[in-house]
Chains A and B, each alone.
Chain A
């Protein structure tokens, strides 16, 4: 029997997710044993026409990482969707929008203005910015359109499963691949990670006081705390309570509070908003001025609470 065919593709991402696949190390050989990788631009020389040449639904699965920012990414996502029986949004950017999604705080024009004109290392006296069509010596050169916002993969095509993480950890990747190979998949639309939030597996959980109350918010760079103390209880913002577990607590073990790359749990629509609601609930004062002072002391709240999930947030869903 022929081996099932799979593909990997990347959209708006940093490449870390591709790296994560390579990081499977010898395990990758077990994967290759069982499947045929027919498309993986970052690692092997395939062309778009190779995908176009496949029959509809011929691929068993495609793993797409990265958010959708350009027309090309959207086209490729749609093409792969047609060719594949399963689509897995691989990593936080495909699932939630990820860090590239924070660009939704600025318009397309503002992004171009900064990237092509204002950045100190750029020399662009004519003020050229990318255009979708340019005439050069009588030829038309085309570039993909750079959309006005960043979208998650599921906002562009139907996605069957979501594998969170920046990047997804090897054990969850292997587990997902095995599930696909054995067909023991959960309900469509599921996130392939544990249901509970990070506190469940956090190595610092036992240090939590019975009641968490905070009267000041600080940052890990400004405050020295014991490395076995719950960050939140010490007034350092940690998105762990609002973030799915399964990451292997890599940040926590490096003495960094959780930034939320695994996204919200099943019952939460808006990770940042929900966390903010929880955070302000444990602020230990009834005094409005004091509440305001504490709230105002959070530096870059959107960047902090929505570091990975701005395009996935309720607000962005409505703006769409």
Chain B
């Protein structure tokens, strides 16, 4: 049997005030396995810890129970103490006689009796404790970032600047994400391109970043510290080694198709770069619209390219990368206007969404920054902005708040007024949410300096009459119906997770909430981690948010990853739920139960296998295992039963 020493702490009068320490000491002496008992005023103090170390040696103890405060406070402290005296730290246990006893009782008699039983049960547990060694696993010091919007760019730059390699995968031909489409940004109205482009260029020139545009993740295996990722590089049909980005091919290409980047308000060629500041600033051929790929004739671009960079033979290529951590930064898209039947269902040309309006404001946009409406290119004299379209509408659309619309609508109205000073800007709103530094001031400025008119209420209908757009609404402040005749309407559509993101998330087995946004490991304390170790969430993929928040998350994730990479091994608590192979029949019940995907049936061996690094010791499998083969280390059923017995025994 183990030789257990019990050290009872007074914690000043915190414990000794309610618990009769002498009686506890006397009672503990008789418990099975206990060979030494001592009490002390403050066990966690230096002299207290010295006492424990001395007695471990002189009494040849191999198990230690500290009867003191909650293990969340000093379990680490005391486990360190005992290991300094040569005992495996997992043979040291805390009997909590403060938070769970002296602090919650007033009757000394009863509190003392309870303290004795608590110590007794912990002694019973300690008798059965195994010596454990922390689990170590090597780390591949490279990160994968999926999504090259502002969040992904920021994360990639930070990790790379900490000295670690990053693979940045972007599905479009250029990085930049939504921010690249904006004109100016709230609340400072600095030009979006001016603050974004330098970062994009940094990405391209950073030696630690391997930029894979026009690419997608197609398979992932492995786990934290060692993921194996398969990435499909779609054929660009241009040899980037040879291409200088001169653009002659684009100029000569005869095919014109609607330009997605300008939300269909301009045209691009079949060979194209997304926008002038694109990174990389080299074109791709959109094979679905290329005459050569569709009809077998043309190859004009090949003829005009001075560098012989066009390569029609290029094929999709799947490459494999090994990484230790993954950042998901797949961003968002806007809920489609066609979902709003009462607002024209996408049929009214001059009822547009916010991103489309950004393009109208942008100096590199289809109108060079002049606000001209899509239908006839006229400058609209009255513009109505409608907020919360699809958001905060659990019955018909989505229950959540898209968070950025209050601010960007204010920005839109303001910028419109700057461009068209004699125009009228109305904003229909349910609430104006301006929680952010400088946001409330920005909103005040729109009303006071720019004369934006705010109408509190919902818009019930938008339709066309006599060449005008009629906006029917209800002003809840005056309690009256309002009708505005507008030349253009801008809808602040709900923010939705990127299309295709769901497939990626399933591949990575990261969970999403009811709205499809990524779920964080803890909403308050672990906001940028997923439940799967080593996978991080940043930007709008996790939920609607603005640029400053996206950037903060990216910085947070990057620094967590840098910390992880600064070690050669991942160290993981050995208190996990393993498998007793002598008992496991490979029934597989535990496999589906594990939220961390830590368990797998090994069909050859006929037992289950546990990836110890992934196990977070939640215990779900231990509860489920019908044969008792899955048991939490040092919290086995046998231990728990012997603790219960010890407590109940007379």
* Chain A residues with CB below 8 A from B603, complex form: 206
Contacting pair B589 A241 (CB below 8 A): yes
For the complex, is A210 an interface residue (Cβ under 8 Å from B)?
A: yes
Q: In the complex, how many residues of chain A place their beta carbon closer than 8 angstroms to a beta carbon of chain B?
A: 32
**Residue from A199, A240, A268, A274 having most chain B Cβ neighbours under 10 A:** A199
Q: Which of B593, B623, B624, B628 contacts A267 (CB 8 A)?
A: B628
Q: For the complex, would chain B's binding face be called helix, strand, loop or mixed by DSSP majority? A: loop
Give complex CA distance A241, B628 in Å: 10
Complex Cα distance, B623 from A277, in Å, reads: 6
Q: Decide if A196 touches B600 in the complex (CB within 8 Å).
A: no
CB distance from A195 to the nearest CB of B (A): 6
A207: min CB distance to chain B, Å: 11
- Complex CA gap A275/B624 in Å reads 8
CB closest chain-B residue, reference A278: B626
Residue of B nearest to A240 (CB): B587
> Which single member of A197, A200, A241, A282 contacts B592 (CB below 8 Å)?
A282
A196-B583, A277-B623 are known contacts. Are A208 and B588 too (CB-CB below 8 A)? yes
**Cα of A284 to Cα of B593 in the assembled complex, Å:** 10
Residues of A with C-beta under 8 A to B628: 264-268, 274
Check: B627 CB closer than 8 A to any chain A CB: yes
Q: State which of A213, A274, A284 has its C-beta within 8 Å of the C-beta of B626.
A: A274
From A212, A232, A245, give the contact of B585 (CB < 8 A): A245
Chain B 627-650 near chain A by CB (<8 Å), digits 1 or 0: 111010000111001000000000
Q: Does B591 count as interface, using CB distance less than 8 angstroms?
A: yes
A281 within 8 A of B: yes
Residues on A with beta carbons closer than 8 Å to the beta carbon of B606 = 200, 205
The residue of chain A having its C-beta at the shortest distance from the C-beta of B603 within the complex is: A206
Q: At the interface, yes or no: B620 with Cβ under 8 Å from chain A?
A: yes
**Chain A neighbourhood of B638, CB < 8 A:** 267
Given A195-B582, A196-B584, A210-B601, A268 and B589 touching (CB < 8 A)? no
In the complex the two chains form, what is the Cα distance from A278 to B591 in whole Å? 11
**Which of A195, A197, A206, A210 makes the CB contact (< 8 A) with B600?**
A210
Residues of B near A240 (CB, < 8 A) are 587
In the complex, B220 has a CB within 8 A of chain A: no
Task: Please provide the chain B residues from 481 to 540 with a CB less than 8 Å away from any CB of chain A in the complex.
Answer: none
A266 to B583, CA, bound (A): 8
Chain B hits for A211, CB < 8 A: 588, 591-592
**Contacts A197-B587, A205-B586, A241-B587 known; A267 to B626 CB distance under 8 Å?**
no
**CA–CA, A318 and B586, complex, Å:** 32
The reply to whether the CB of B580 lies closer than 8 angstroms to some CB of chain A is yes
Are the C-beta atoms of B637 and A281 separated by less than 8 Å?
no
The answer to whether B620 touches A242 (Cβ under 8 A) is no
Which of B627, B628, B637: most chain A CB closer than 10 A? Answer: B627
Evaluate whether A213 and B629 lie within 8 angstroms (CB atoms) in the complex, with A196-B585, A200-B606, A240-B587 already known: no
Beta-carbon contacts of B117-160 to A below 8 Å, as 1s and 0s?
00000000000000000000000000000000000000000000
Whether A87 sits at the interface, judged by CB under 8 Å, is: no
Q: Which chain A residues lie closer than 8 Å to B582 at the CB level?
A: 195-196
Tell me the nearest residue of chain A to B601, going by C-beta: A210
Q: Is the CB of B627 within 8 A of A267?
A: yes
Whether A281 and B585, one on each chain, are in contact in the complex, defined by CB atoms closer than 8 angstroms, is: no
Using A212-B592, A267-B583 as known contacts, say yes or no to A278 and B631 having CB atoms under 8 A apart: no
User: Is A269 at the interface (CB under 8 A from chain B)?
Assistant: yes
Task: Fill in one digit per residue for A88-124: 1 if any B CB lies within 8 Å of its CB, else 0.
Answer: 0000000000000000000000000000000000000
Measured CB to CB, the closest approach of chain B to A2, in angstroms, equals: 39
Q: Which of B583, B584, B592, B637 contacts A213 (CB 8 A)?
A: B592
Question: Which has the most chain A C-beta neighbours within 10 Å: B589, B628, B638?
Answer: B589
Closest to B620 in A: A281
- Which residue in chain B gives the minimum CB-CB distance to A233? B588
User: Is A210 within 8 A of B591, CB to CB?
Assistant: yes
* Given known contacts A210-B601, A278-B589, A282-B592, A241 and B626 CB-to-CB distance under 8 angstroms: yes
Contacts A206-B603, A277-B623, A282-B592 hold; do A267 and B587 have CB atoms under 8 A apart? no
| A265 touching B624, Cβ below 8 Å | no
Contacts of A268 in B (CB 8 A): 626-628, 637
Which residue of chain A is the closest to B625 with respect to CB atoms? A278
CB distance from A194 to the nearest CB of B (A): 9
Docked complex: A180-215 residues within 8 A CB-CB of B: 195-200, 205-206, 208-213
How distant is the Cα of A206 from the Cα of B606 in the complex, in angstroms?
A: 10
Within 8 A of A (CB), among B582-617: 582-593, 600-601, 603, 606
Bound-complex Cα distance A275 to B626 (A): 5
Known A-B contacts A211-B592, A267-B637; the reply to A278 vs B624 at CB < 8 A is yes
Nearest A residue to B584 via CB reads A196
CB A269 to nearest CB in B, in angstroms, measures 7
Instruction: Contact check, B624 vs A197: say whether CB atoms are below 8 A apart.
Output: no
* Cβ contacts under 8 Å, B641 to chain A: 269
- Select B627's contact among A196, A213, A232, beta carbons within 8 Å: A196
Q: Mark contacts of B570-590 with chain A using CB atoms, 8 A cut-off: 1 yes-contact digit, 0 otherwise.
A: 000000000010111111111
The complex places the Cα of A198 from the Cα of B583 at a distance, in Å, of 11
Cβ A281 vs Cβ B593 within 8 A = yes
Would you give the shortest CB distance from A99 to chain B, in whole angstroms? 21
Residues of A within 8 A of B586 (CB): 199-200, 205
**Given A197-B626, A277-B624, CB of A265 within 8 Å of CB of B592:** no
**A263–B413 alpha-carbon span in the complex (Å):** 74
- The answer to whether A267 and B588 touch across the interface, beta carbons within 8 angstroms, is no
Contacts of A205 in B (CB 8 A): 586, 606
A268-B626 Cα distance, complex, nearest whole Å: 8
Q: Which residues of B contact A267 (CB under 8 A)?
A: 580, 583, 627-629, 631, 636-638
Given A267-B629, A274-B626, A277-B623, A212 and B583 contact (CB-CB distance below 8 Å)? no
B contact residues vs A (CB 8 Å cutoff): 580, 582-593, 600-601, 603, 606, 620, 623-629, 631, 636-638, 641
Task: Report which A residues bind B (CB closer than 8 A).
Answer: 195-200, 205-206, 208-213, 232, 240-242, 245, 264-269, 274-275, 277-278, 281-282, 284
Known: A200-B586, A274-B628, A278-B624. 11 other contacts (CB 8 A): A196-B582, A200-B585, A205-B586, A209-B588, A211-B591, A241-B585, A274-B627, A275-B626, A277-B626, A281-B590, A282-B624
